[in-house]
Amino acid sequence: MSNVPKISESEWEIMKVIWSQSPLTAEQIVLQLSDKMEWSDQTVRTFINRLLKKKAIGFEKSGRSYLYFPLVSEKECVRAESQSFLKRVFNGAAGIMVTNFLEETDLSQQEIDHLHQILTEKRREKDKGTQA
Amino acid sequence: MSNVPKISESEWEIMKVIWSQSPLTAEQIVLQLSDKMEWSDQTVRTFINRLLKKKAIGFEKSGRSYLYFPLVSEKECVRAESQSFLKRVFNGAAGIMVTNFLEETDLSQQEIDHLHQILTEKRREKDKGTQA
DNA sequence: CTCCAAATATTACATACGTAATATTACACT
DNA sequence: AGTGTAATATTACGTATGTAATATTTGGAG
């Protein structure tokens, strides 16, 4: 279910803008990306069109231009990309992946505490499950 | 530093074989992949050649065939892919990424405990750093 | 109703990738 | 030394991607 299309690296930039706020005109998308990426507006419009063709986004007419909005949720796409990455690089082993990230990344005290807490809770849940 | 070449999804499969054991002949690589992937041996040899061109692997002659070995380490490549993924999907926010994985993935009790322990240690380390 | 400017749509082109087929080279055997 | 076979090298071809340029359409001004 929920078969998300393959979204390329550049297309992800477009999607992130549209997910963060929609609907948006092409003009607005170009604007939002203008300081982050060095893309001509035609390039951005090409990516928008490819995303339309892939059914990742839709549009409705509004006067002279279109208003674009997502057809696939960010959550779905993040899931798909994560699974793909996990499989390709870590043979699907999420535990190893997370371990690796924890060891390679310099997290802040806050983040460490937060993750620690999540795991503490998860541990308790798991325990309850076993108990029952 | 340590500029790793871009390795495609298919090429990753070849690299994983070569990293796990090297040097290997093309024949041996084909064999190791034969049950996992539905690739003709010519396809595998094409990927091997592309990896050679990218300087991801090297070879030395051995009788009638070549023995291939990695020129880039798995660690480097995992790092590069991880950074790329992190940037594309989570805007580089490792904390959010890990949180997301912890919440979306069903980890075993063992894995949870292990991660919990790593974080407990990291927390202590961080604390010591602050203390000084 | 006509015409322009702006928006969308189509076309372009080089490189990467998936997936091989064919061509060439070079051991090993006779 | 010649030859066949197995390895490597080259070529092929369709789709995807990055990066636009050009062509066409159309809403809005006059």
B5: left (phi > 0), else alpha (psi -120 to 50), else beta? beta
> Residue B109: which pLDDT band, with cuts at 50, 70 and 90?
very high
ipTM score of complex: 0.92
Q: Is the pLDDT of residue B21 over 90?
A: yes
Which residues of chain A does B74 touch, with a Cβ-Cβ cutoff of 8 Å? none
Question: How far is it, in rounded angstroms, from Cα B112 to Cα B106?
Answer: 10
> A1-91 maps to which CATH number?
1.10.10.10
E-state strands within chain B: 57-62, 65-70
Q: Is B130 a residue whose pLDDT tops 80?
A: no
The amino acid present at B45, given as its one-letter code, is R
pLDDT at A41: 97
* pLDDT digit string, tens, across residues B33-73: 999 999 999 999 999 999 999 999 999 999 999 999 999 99
Cross-chain Cβ contact A12/B89 below 8 Å:
yes
pLDDT tens track for A55-79: 999 999 999 999 999 999 999 999 9
Confidence (pLDDT) at A93: 97
Q: Is the pLDDT of residue A132 over 80?
A: no
Residue type, B74: E
**Residue nearest C27 (alpha carbon to C1'):** B64
Contact B14, B24 (CB under 8 A): no
CB atoms within 10 A of CB B54: 16
Q: What phi and psi, each to the nearest 5 degrees, are found at residue A53?
A: -60, -35
Instruction: Report whether B118 contacts A125 (CB < 8 A).
Output: no
> For the segment A86-109, what is each residue's pLDDT rounded down to a tens digit?
999 999 999 999 999 999 999 999
Q: What mean pLDDT is predicted for residues A39-62?
A: 97
CA–CA dist B79, B92 (Å, integer):
13
| The pLDDT of residue A129 | 66
pLDDT the model gives residue A3: 86
The CATH T-level fold of domain B9-70 is Arc Repressor Mutant, subunit A (1.10.10)
Residue A37 · residue A31 · CB < 8 Å = no
The whole-number Å distance from B10's CA to C28's C1' is 34
Contacts for A84 with CB less than 8 Å, ≥ 6 apart: B9
* Nearest CA-CA partner of A69 in A54, A86, A57: A57
Quick one: average pLDDT of B19-39? 97
Mean pLDDT, rounded, for B9-18? 98
A106: closest chain B residue by CA: B94
User: Would you list the domain boundaries of chain B?
Assistant: 9-70
Q: What is the pLDDT of residue B119?
A: 96
Residue B125 has a pLDDT of: 84
Q: How far apart are CA A118 and CA A112, in angstroms?
A: 10
